[in-house]
Amino acid sequence: MFSKLSIVTASVLLTLAAAIPNTTPPVTPPTSNQCCNSVVSSSSSAASAVAALLGLDLTGLNVPVGLSCSPITVVGNNCGGTSVTCDSPNTEWGNLIAINCLPITL
């Protein structure tokens, strides 16, 4: 039962990823403070998988990428993840990914 469900889920995600045209996101100076569950290389398999779901092509980019990020809006906010400053258009990428993430140093 669960194996059939995982196969169906995987095929649906692959179909959606194939239907969305891949675009290379612009790398701009980071301007948005984010709390990310993890920060990985743009060439990692995790970053590539999330980017594919969003129709982003990270090929050739060599920048840190934040995964599962949310904006830090309150001073003193306890992030619980990794606090970074990124380029993150939340309305387009739904807090799933952020590009060019640099650590916030206090």
Q: Rounded to the nearest 5 degrees, what angle is found at the Cα of 95, between the Cα atoms of 26 and 7? A: 100
Residue 63 has pLDDT above 80, yes or no: yes
List, for residues 14-37, the tens digit of each pLDDT value: 554 454 555 666 566 677 888 889
Nearest by Cα to 39 from 104, 89, 106, 92: 104
CA 28 to CA 5: how far, in whole Å?
39
97 half-sphere exposure, CB direction, 13 A CA radius: 25
List, for residues 87-98, the tens digit of each pLDDT value: 766 556 778 888
